[in-house]
């Protein structure tokens, strides 16, 4: 067989031990908080039936689904007449029944509908799994990436929104990332559309507003006009988007503007309740009402949330909102829920840029025993068992290679201590333990090694 130079598909990544360990640190931190707030894990398969996925993410999303070729004779039932070089699109769903999941929300909705009789509602679940999108790969955008979703479904209480804000607050505090939470409400956006006499344009308006951060106010205005919103309406919208001041000031002004919109007022009241709770909990993360926050996804119906890092210019690193009819597409109505998703890849980038991964996240051995030969190795094996029993990661270099090679290995792997046990050390039951960072050497009795390592 000819030897091939290996590669991986574009848009995908290998994660080295160092990267994997750092990623685990993020996942573990997030997971611990999810659990602390009473959320339970859920896992769904990587492959879903295409019928579950298609039509849920818009035409653009359908195109970005990775489809899995049917096994076996996938063409045998396709008539010759249907097989032409132009038939890629119509044939796709006839030769592939399954696709890779595109997000964790649709599989979650599917799960809830399939298991509605076993689930104890409100159902608080978290899910940390990869998703796949056939997007054009570019810096910071991958074809395989992880989502960390946390949702509660089956409760309309605004305490759930408050709880998600608490989770955001705690997670980023633990990760030591300074963030600001942006908050808005779809009902307010509906109210604004009513006020503009453009209710039937709500989607156009939210889609356009959603881009304000990227393309700026003027471009958004142009786009609205292009989408058929009247110049008069666009003129009335501008001061709303430019509203400044404290949250309560914004809401007070808005309450006057939207006075005639029942929906709009409802949205304002919801935000006021949420903010009052948040205030009483003295969260350390600032929360800002941002009326230009729209979030593209159509299924949101209440509060919408986005989190931005303060010290790094990057898009939102967490976001979500309230939806009233996510499970309706699968036949289960009246299931209101609210959830957020942490963007692990962007959080990683932020932490890498700020260089704030803690040393413990390295996941390497605390000590390596140098291998001086068979007899010495035998002694090391016994000591290793004791060290590991105390939960301390440790290893013995497997070959009695040259000292330099062994120390190089420890160094490259970031192992902080090496233990040297030769004939003399065996005779005195004492070893030399060397700190790789300082070069300092300590004499440590065999039975005191655990204590020594624990205190370092």
DSSP 67-81: EEPPSSSTTTTS-GG
259 is a site residue for a copy of itself (CB under 8 A): no
- Rounded to whole angstroms, how far apart are CA atoms 301 and 321? 8
83 is a site residue for a copy of itself (CB under 8 A): yes
104: annotated binding-site residue? yes
- Rounded to whole angstroms, how far apart are CA atoms 142 and 345? 9
151: annotated binding-site residue? yes
175: annotated binding-site residue? no
Please give the helix or strand (H or E) that residue 107 lies within, else none: helix 105-114
* Shortest distance in whole angstroms from residue 395 CB to a copy of itself: 3
- Pick out residues in 374-393 that bind a copy of itself (CB under 8 A): 377-378, 381-382, 385, 388, 391-393
74 is a site residue for a copy of itself (CB under 8 A): yes
- Rounded to whole angstroms, how far apart are CA atoms 161 and 273? 10
Q: Identify which of residues 121 and 232 has a Cβ nearer to a copy of itself in the complex.
A: 121
* Shortest distance in whole angstroms from residue 47 CB to a copy of itself: 5
- Rounded to whole angstroms, how far apart are CA atoms 209 and 197? 17
102 is a site residue for a copy of itself (CB under 8 A): no
103: annotated binding-site residue? yes
Q: Identify which of residues 313 and 382 has a Cβ nearer to a copy of itself in the complex.
A: 382
* Shortest distance in whole angstroms from residue 223 CB to a copy of itself: 27
Cβ atoms of 124 and 340 closer than 8 Å: no
298 is a site residue for a copy of itself (CB under 8 A): no
110: annotated binding-site residue? no
- Rounded to whole angstroms, how far apart are CA atoms 291 and 175? 28
324: annotated binding-site residue? no
Among 29, 105, 147, 170, binds a copy of itself (CB under 8 A): 170
* Shortest distance in whole angstroms from residue 300 CB to a copy of itself: 19
- Pick out residues in 337-376 that bind a copy of itself (CB under 8 A): 363-365, 368, 371
Cβ atoms of 344 and 148 closer than 8 Å: yes
Q: Identify which of residues 16 and 455 has a Cβ nearer to a copy of itself in the complex.
A: 16
Sheet of 144-153, strands arranged across: 40-41, 123-132, 144-153, 337-343, 318-323, 300-309, 179-185, 287-289
- Rounded to whole angstroms, how far apart are CA atoms 186 and 192? 10
Nearest of 95, 73, 69 to residue 82 by alpha carbon: 95
How far from each other are the two terminal CA atoms of the chain, in whole angstroms? Answer: 52
- Rounded to whole angstroms, how far apart are CA atoms 293 and 311? 20
Among 26, 30, 66, 184, binds a copy of itself (CB under 8 A): 66
- Rounded to whole angstroms, how far apart are CA atoms 445 and 442? 10
Candidates 32-40, 198-206, 417-425, 448-456; binding stretch for a copy of itself (CB under 8 A): 32-40
21 is a site residue for a copy of itself (CB under 8 A): yes
105: annotated binding-site residue? yes
Candidates 222-230, 231-239, 277-285, 426-434; binding stretch for a copy of itself (CB under 8 A): 277-285
- Pick out residues in 33-62 that bind a copy of itself (CB under 8 A): 35-38, 40-49, 51-52, 55
126: annotated binding-site residue? no
13 is a site residue for a copy of itself (CB under 8 A): yes
Q: What is the CA 295 to chain-centroid distance, rounded? A: 16
Please give the helix or strand (H or E) that residue 306 lies within, else none: strand 300-309
- Pick out residues in 179-238 that bind a copy of itself (CB under 8 A): none
Residue linked to tokens 């068979």: 374
163 three-state secondary structure: helix
Q: Identify which of residues 124 and 295 has a Cβ nearer to a copy of itself in the complex.
A: 124
439 is a site residue for a copy of itself (CB under 8 A): no
Q: Identify which of residues 134 and 432 has a Cβ nearer to a copy of itself in the complex.
A: 134
241: CB partners within 8 A, 6+ apart = 209, 212, 217, 220, 291, 292
Candidates 78-86, 213-221, 430-438, 444-452; binding stretch for a copy of itself (CB under 8 A): 78-86
**Binders of a copy of itself: how many residues, by CB under 8 A?**
123
- Rounded to whole angstroms, how far apart are CA atoms 311 and 309? 6
Please give the helix or strand (H or E) that residue 212 lies within, else none: helix 212-215
* Shortest distance in whole angstroms from residue 38 CB to a copy of itself: 3
Cβ atoms of 185 and 304 closer than 8 Å: yes
* Shortest distance in whole angstroms from residue 454 CB to a copy of itself: 14
Among 268, 307, 396, 420, binds a copy of itself (CB under 8 A): 396
114 is a site residue for a copy of itself (CB under 8 A): yes
91 is a site residue for a copy of itself (CB under 8 A): yes
- Pick out residues in 313-332 that bind a copy of itself (CB under 8 A): 328-331
- Pick out residues in 129-168 that bind a copy of itself (CB under 8 A): 130, 132, 134, 143-144, 152, 155-157, 159-160, 162-163, 166
Residue linked to tokens 């019928």: 51
- Residue 232 sits at φ, ψ, to 5 deg, of -60, -50
- Per the annotation, binding residues for L-histidine are 103-105, 133, 147, 151, 295, 299-300
């Amino acid at each position: 067989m000819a030897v091939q130079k290996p590669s991986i598909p574009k848009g995908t990544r290998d994660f080295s031990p160092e990267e994997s360990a750092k990623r685990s640190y993020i996942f573990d931190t997030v997971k611990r908080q999810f659990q602390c707030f009473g959320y339970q894990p859920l896992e769904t398969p990587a492959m879903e039936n295409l019928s579950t996925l298609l039509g849920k993410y818009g035409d653009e999303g359908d195109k970005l689904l990775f489809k899995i070729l049917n096994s076996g004779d996938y063409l045998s039932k396709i008539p010759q007449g249907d097989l032409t070089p132009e038939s890629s699109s119509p044939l796709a769903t006839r030769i592939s029944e399954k696709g890779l999941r595109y997000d964790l929300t649709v599989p979650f909705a599917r799960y809830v509908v399939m298991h509605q009789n076993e689930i104890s509602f409100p159902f608080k679940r978290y899910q940390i799994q990869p998703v796949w999108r056939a997007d054009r790969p570019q810096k910071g955008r991958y074809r395989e990436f992880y989502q960390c979703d946390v949702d509660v479904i089956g409760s309309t209480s605004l305490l759930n929104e408050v709880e998600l804000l608490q989770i955001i607050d705690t997670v980023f505090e633990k990760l030591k990332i300074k963030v600001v939470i942006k908050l808005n409400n779809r009902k307010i956006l509906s109210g604004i559309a009513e006020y503009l006499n453009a209710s039937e344009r709500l989607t156009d308006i939210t889609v356009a507003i959603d881009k304000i951060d990227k393309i700026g106010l003027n471009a958004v205005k142009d786009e609205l006009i292009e989408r058929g919103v009247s110049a008069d309406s666009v003129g009335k919208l501008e001061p709303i988007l430019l509203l400044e001041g404290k949250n309560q000031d914004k809401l007070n002004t808005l309450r006057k503007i939207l006075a005639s919109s029942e929906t709009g007022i409802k949205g304002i009241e919801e935000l006021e309740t949420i903010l009052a709770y948040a205030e009483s909990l003295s969260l350390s993360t600032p929360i800002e009402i941002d009326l230009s926050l729209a979030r593209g996804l159509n299924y949101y119906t209440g509060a919408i949330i986005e989190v931005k890092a303060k010290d790094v210019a990057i898009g939102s690193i967490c976001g979500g909102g309230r939806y009233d009819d996510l499970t309706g597409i699968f036949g289960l109505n009246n299931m209101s829920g609210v959830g957020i998703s942490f963007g692990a890849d962007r959080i990683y980038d932020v932490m890498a840029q700020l260089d704030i991964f803690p040393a413990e996240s390295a996941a390497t051995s605390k000590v390596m025993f140098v291998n001086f030969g068979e007899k010495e190795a035998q002694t090391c094996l016994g000591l290793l068992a004791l060290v590991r029993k105390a939960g301390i990661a440790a290893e013995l270099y497997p070959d009695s290679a040259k000292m330099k090679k062994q120390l190089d290995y420890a160094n490259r792997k970031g192992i902080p201590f090496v233990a040297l046990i030769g004939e003399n050390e065996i005779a005195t039951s004492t070893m030399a333990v060397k700190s790789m960072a300082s070069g300092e050497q300590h004499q440590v009795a065999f039975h005191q090694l655990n204590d020594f390592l624990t205190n370092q």
